[in-house]
Structure 1
Amino acid sequence: MPLLPSIKPSRKARIGLYSVGLAAYWEQFPGLRERLQAYGRFIEDKLAAWADVFNYGLVDTEQEGRRAGEWLNRQDVDLVFCHAATYSTSSTVLPVHQIHKSPVVFLNLQPTARINYEKTTTGEWLAHCGACPVPEFANAFNRAGIPFRVVNGLLGLEETPAISLADEVTHEREEAKRAWTEIREWALAASVPRTLRHSRFGFLGNTYSGMLDMYSDFTMIQAQTGLHVEVLEMCDLDRLLREVTPEEVRRKLEEVREIFEISGDSPSDPIARKPSDEQLDWSCRVAAAQEKLVIEYGLDALSYYYHGAPGGEYEKLQGGFIVGHSLLTARGIPCSGEGDLKTAVAMKICDILGAGGSFSEIVVTDYADGTILLGHDGPFHIAIAEGKPLLRGMGLYHGKQGTGVSVEAKVAAGPVTTLNVTQTGDGKLKLISSEGESTNGPIMRIGNTQTPVRFREHPDAYMTGWFAEAPTHHCALSVGHNSRLFEKVGQLLGVKHVTL
C-alpha cells in the first residue's frame, strides 16, 4: 500500500513469549523438554515477522515464573504470549503476571490434528496436551483479577519433528491458519499503544465552531492513549512558509503532478474548475511548509482548522492546506480537518496497522445501489485511492472561507472498514467499527472525496445502529476487514469497542 516514503515510521510492538511445563516431567520423559522448547522457537520465529520478540524460554516452576516476570519487566514488552506447551500448574504461571502487568494471551496450539492412537506413549501425549492446563489458568487468573485471552488451534508446523509419533504438518489446516491470523492481529494491535505512547499530535488552529461532538480535553486524550498534543499556531506555519525556496516548490510540484491528475472544469459544478497555475503553485508552497512543520515539531499526526479573517494572510494560507495534508497522510502523518483530534487518532490507528485511514463523513445515501457515500472536502489518503486522485480548483470551500485546490477521489473497490473514535458522557473514548465493501458506484464531480460503501445491512438499518452509538460525525475509512483487529486495539488500550 505505501505510495510515498514514511516520514516517521510506526513502532513495532515488543512481544514477550514463554512456554510452560512441569519440572517433574523432564527426568520422566527424556526429550520432552527439548521438544517443547523447539515448539517455542517456532512460535518466536513466526512472531518476528510482526514484532520484536523476547522469548524467555521454558517456565516450569513457581520460582522460574517469578524470574520470568522480572525479566519481562526489564524487556519493556507490550503484550505477552504464554505458550501452553504441556500441562503446568497455575501456580507456575500466575506469578509471572502478578509481577509483569502487560496483557497476556494464552496460546493453546496443538502440534497435531490427531494423535497416533495405536503408538502414542505418555510422553508423546504430554507434547500434545496444551489445552489441559488452560482452564486452570483461566480460573486462577479470574480469581486474581487479571484479564486474559486465549487463542485455540493448531501449531502449524511445516514438517514433523523426528521425535514425534504423529503427523505434525498442519500449516495448511484451517485451525492453524485461523489461530495464526488471530496471533498476527494481537501482535499488530500491540503496536498501536506503543506507537501512540511515543506520538506527538499537532493541533493547529482550533476546532470548527459549533461542532460539539468533536470537542475534547487534551488531558483526557493523553490519559487514555498516551499521545502528546502539541498546540501549534498559524504563525508557526507562516514562519516556515517564508523559508520555502523556489527549488522546494518545484520539487513539490513535480511530486504533485506525478501523484495526481490535474482536472479540467467540472461538467456539473460551477465552483469546481481546473486548478490555475497560481493555485497549484500556492498549494505546493504550502505543502512544502507543512512538511517542514511536521519535521520541526516531530509530529506523528496533525489535526487542523483555521477560518481566518476575510482576505487575511491566514485565510489564504489555510486555503492551500488540502494537497499538502493529503501528501502527509500518505506518508504516515494522518491529517484530520475541522480540528477533529479524535478522528486523527482513528486515522493514526489505521495507519499504524497498515490499513490507510481516510478522513470521512456521511456524504449522501444511494438507495438505488444500497450504498452510503463516505468522504469529505479533504484531506484524502491517496495511498488507498482507486486510480489517480483528481485535483480541482475550488471557487469556495463550502461552509468555510477561502478558495484553493481540493482532492476528488474514492477509496479502491474492495473490503473496507470504518473506524470512529468518539467520547462518551463520562469522558471515556470509545471505538466504533463497521465492515463493508467499497463499490464501483458513481461519485459526484465536485472536488470532494467520496467512496460508495455497501454495508451488511440496508443503509437505514445501518445508520440507525451507527447513530445509536453516539459517534463523532467523522470517521477513518480503512482498507480491508479490520473490525477484529480494531477490537483487539481497544482491549489493549482499555477502550470500549463496538462492532456494528
Structure 2
Amino acid sequence: MSQHGVVYNFGLVDSEGKGRQAGEWFNEKNVDLVFCHVATYSTSSTVLPVHQFCSKPVIVLNLQPTARINYARSTTGEWLAHCVACPVPEISNAFNRAGIRFRVINGLLGLDYTPAISLTDEVTQDRPEAIKALREIEEWIKAAGVVRTLRHARFGFLGNTYSGMLDMYSDFAMLQAQLGLHVEVLEMCDLDRFLKEVTQEEIEAKLEEVEEMFEISGDSPSDPIAKKPTREQLEWSAKVAVAQEKLVRAYDLDALTYYYHGQDGNEYEKLQAGFIVGHSLLTARGIPCSGEGDMKTAIGMKICDILGTGGSFSEIVVVDYEDETILLGHDGPFHIAIASEKPILRGMGLYHGKKGTGVSVEAKVKRGSITTLNVTQTGDGKLALIASEGQATNGEIMQIGNTQTHVKFDLHPDDYMEKWFAEAPTHHCAIAVGNQAAQFKKVAELLQLRHVTLCKNK
C-alpha cells in the first residue's frame, strides 16, 4: 500500500471502545480511505463504531493467509488464524443497516514467506487470487488519490464554450459541489497581459522545446490547407506557449479549458491561433488542456493524467467499416506521453471549425489497449462517467493536422455507438492507455457519481 500512498496503521481493533478511538484517530489523520483487514473472527460491534466516527469510504479486506489449511494438524488457534471470511457478512450487514458505504476485496494475502508459527504454506504471492486482490487495493488507493487531487485542484476556464454545443455547457457551482474543484474564470486579456511580457530569449528557449518534442511537417500530400509550418507560425506558437505557461503559474492552475471564436482580424483571434502547441506542452506536463471550452472533458483528462494513463482530447472522426474501427481524434491538444511516435506539427491555412490560421498537432495514440473516459452530465444535473475499453490499432490516418487513432472495440461500430449514444454523452472524451475501466469505476464510486462501462477488453 505504501508504494501508492501515505499509510496510517491504527493497529488491532478488538472492542467497540477501541473502534471509536480508531475512528477519531483516522479523522485526525485526514485519511481518504479506510481499509479494514479482517485477520480473524471479530464481532461487527467492534468494527461499526470506527466508521460511524470516520465517514470516509471503507474497503474490507477478506484476504486469507493460505490457499488451503493443514486439515490434519490444525488446532483451534490455527483455524482462527485463517478464519477470515467468517465475520465479513456480519460486518457487511451492520454497515448496510447503518447506511455506511463499503466494498469487499476477496482473495489471498499474498505473503512471500511463511511465518514460523504457521502450520501451513502461506506463500501465496504468485497465486491469481493474491494478484487480483493486490491490484484492486492499488486501484482503490489510486482512485482515492484522484478524489483528493480534484478537491484541491484549480481549473482555468479561458474564454467561452463553443457557441451552440449544448452538451458541453456546465454549471461551475455544480462542478465544485460534486467534485470539490475550483473553477477560475479567465479572459483573453489575462493571457494577453503575459504575452506582452514574453522576451525573445524565452521564445528561442520554447522553440528548442517544441523542436525537441515535435516533428515539423512538410506540406500535406493530400490537404491543400495543411502546409509546412512557417517560421513565423512556429515563433508565434512558441511566444503564445510562453504566455500560456506564465498564465498557468500565475493562477496556480492544474488544468485548463479554453475557446475564443473572435472576429476577423482581431488581436485575440490571432492569439488563440497559437494555442494548440502550448496547450499540448502543458498537457504533457500534467496540466491537461481541453479545447472548445469543454470543462467536463478537461476533468476526464485530469483523471487520466493523475492515474498516469495519459488523457488525450478526442471525439468521433469517422467510422472505418472495412476494419470495423472508430477513428477518434481532434485538432489538439494531444497528450504526448501516450503518442505512438513523435507528434507532427502542421501549419493550418484554416482551423477546422474555428477562426484563424496557425499550427496544429497530428499524432496517434500508441498501439495496444486503451480506455476512453467520457464525463457527461445527466438531466438531473449529476455528473456521470462513461468508460470503454478497446484496442488502438495502427490504421492509416489522414494527414490534415489532427490527432487521430483507430480504435477497435469488442462490438461492431454500429452496436458500440448505439450503446454509447444511449448514455447521452458529452461528444468529447479522453483517451487513456491500458485497461482502465475497473479503475475509473472506483473513481466514480468514491466521487459518488453514476458510472457505466460499455465494453471491456477480453
TM-score normalized with structure 2 length? 0.99
Matched, 1:496 2:450: yes
Structure 2 match to 1:400: 354
What per-residue deviation string (whole Å, max 9, x for no partner) do you get for residues 231-273 of structure 1?
0010110010111111111111001111100000000000000
Structure 2 match to 1:433: 387
Structure 2 match to 1:379: 333
Residue 169 of structure 1, CA deviation: 0.4
2:205 aligned to which of 228, 242, 251: 251
Q: For the residues of structure 1 that align with 2:278 and 2:33, how far apart are their CA atoms?
A: 36
Q: For the residues of structure 2 that align with 1:97 and 1:228, how far apart are their CA atoms?
A: 29
1:316 aligned to which of 267, 270, 273: 270
Structure 2 match to 1:9: none
Q: For the residues of structure 2 that align with 1:482 and 1:336, how far apart are their CA atoms?
A: 21
Structure 2 match to 1:147: 101
Structure 1 match to 2:73: 119
Q: For the residues of structure 2 that align with 1:375 and 1:399, how far apart are their CA atoms?
A: 14
1:276 aligned to which of 220, 230, 236: 230
1:166 aligned to which of 112, 120, 134: 120
- The letter of the residue matching 1:304 is Y
Matched, 1:138 2:92: yes
Residue 119 of structure 1, CA deviation: 1.0
Q: For the residues of structure 2 that align with 1:147 and 1:308, how far apart are their CA atoms?
A: 48
1:74 aligned to which of 19, 25, 28: 28
Residue 150 of structure 1, CA deviation: 0.2
2:418 aligned to which of 448, 464, 482: 464
1:289 aligned to which of 243, 254, 272: 243
What per-residue deviation string (whole Å, max 9, x for no partner) do you get for residues 288-311 of structure 1?
110111111000000000011210
What per-residue deviation string (whole Å, max 9, x for no partner) do you get for residues 318-353 of structure 1?
000000000100100000000000000000000111
Residue 118 of structure 1, CA deviation: 1.2
1:354 aligned to which of 300, 303, 308: 308
Q: For the residues of structure 2 that align with 1:48 and 1:399, how far apart are their CA atoms?
A: 48
Structure 2 match to 1:226: 180
Q: For the residues of structure 2 that align with 1:379 and 1:341, how far apart are their CA atoms?
A: 14
1:240 aligned to which of 194, 201, 206: 194
Structure 2 match to 1:215: 169
Structure 2 counterparts to residues 96-111 of structure 1, below 5 A? 96-111=50-65
Task: For structure 2, list consecutive stretches of 5 or more residues without a partner in the other structure.
Answer: none
Residue 145 of structure 1, CA deviation: 1.1
Q: For the residues of structure 2 that align with 1:351 and 1:327, how far apart are their CA atoms?
A: 14
- The letter of the residue matching 2:278 is G
Q: For the residues of structure 1 that align with 2:336 and 2:308, how far apart are their CA atoms?
A: 13
Structure 1 match to 2:45: 91
Structure 2 match to 1:37: none
Q: For the residues of structure 2 that align with 1:409 and 1:468, how far apart are their CA atoms?
A: 29
Q: For the residues of structure 1 that align with 2:197 and 2:159, how far apart are their CA atoms?
A: 20
Percent of aligned pairs with the same amino acid = 75
Task: For structure 1, list consecutive stretches of 5 or more residues without a partner in the other structure.
Answer: 1-46
**Could you say what secondary structure the match of 2:9 adopts?**
strand
- The letter of the residue matching 1:166 is T
Q: For the residues of structure 1 that align with 2:352 and 2:364, how far apart are their CA atoms?
A: 19
Structure 2 match to 1:366: 320
Residue 383 of structure 1, CA deviation: 1.1
Residue 113 of structure 1, CA deviation: 0.6
- The letter of the residue matching 1:177 is I
Q: For the residues of structure 2 that align with 1:370 and 1:398, how far apart are their CA atoms?
A: 26
Structure 2 match to 1:177: 131
Structure 1 match to 2:260: 306
Give 4+ residue runs of structure 1 displaced > 6 Å after superposition.
Answer: none
Q: For the residues of structure 2 that align with 1:399 and 1:142, how far apart are their CA atoms?
A: 51
Q: For the residues of structure 2 that align with 1:125 and 1:74, how far apart are their CA atoms?
A: 36
- The letter of the residue matching 1:235 is C
Q: For the residues of structure 2 that align with 1:399 and 1:145, how far apart are their CA atoms?
A: 50
Q: For the residues of structure 2 that align with 1:127 and 1:284, how far apart are their CA atoms?
A: 64
Q: For the residues of structure 2 that align with 1:166 and 1:195, how far apart are their CA atoms?
A: 43
Q: For the residues of structure 1 that align with 2:441 and 2:196, how far apart are their CA atoms?
A: 44
Matched, 1:54 2:54: no
Structure 2 match to 1:26: none
RMSD: 0.5
- The letter of the residue matching 2:384 is K
- The letter of the residue matching 2:232 is E
Matched, 1:446 2:403: no
- The letter of the residue matching 1:171 is Q
Residue 380 of structure 1, CA deviation: 0.7
Q: For the residues of structure 2 that align with 1:177 and 1:370, how far apart are their CA atoms?
A: 34
Structure 2 match to 1:266: 220
Structure 2 match to 1:478: 432
Residue 399 of structure 1, CA deviation: 1.3
**Could you say what secondary structure the match of 1:374 adopts?**
strand
Q: For the residues of structure 2 that align with 1:127 and 1:214, how far apart are their CA atoms?
A: 54
Q: For the residues of structure 1 that align with 2:205 and 2:98, how far apart are their CA atoms?
A: 60
- The letter of the residue matching 2:254 is D
Q: For the residues of structure 2 that align with 1:168 and 1:282, how far apart are their CA atoms?
A: 63
Matched, 1:205 2:156: no
Matched, 1:332 2:261: no
**Could you say what secondary structure the match of 1:86 adopts?**
coil
Q: For the residues of structure 1 that align with 2:48 and 2:331, how far apart are their CA atoms?
A: 52
Structure 2 counterparts to residues 9-28 of structure 1, below 5 A? none
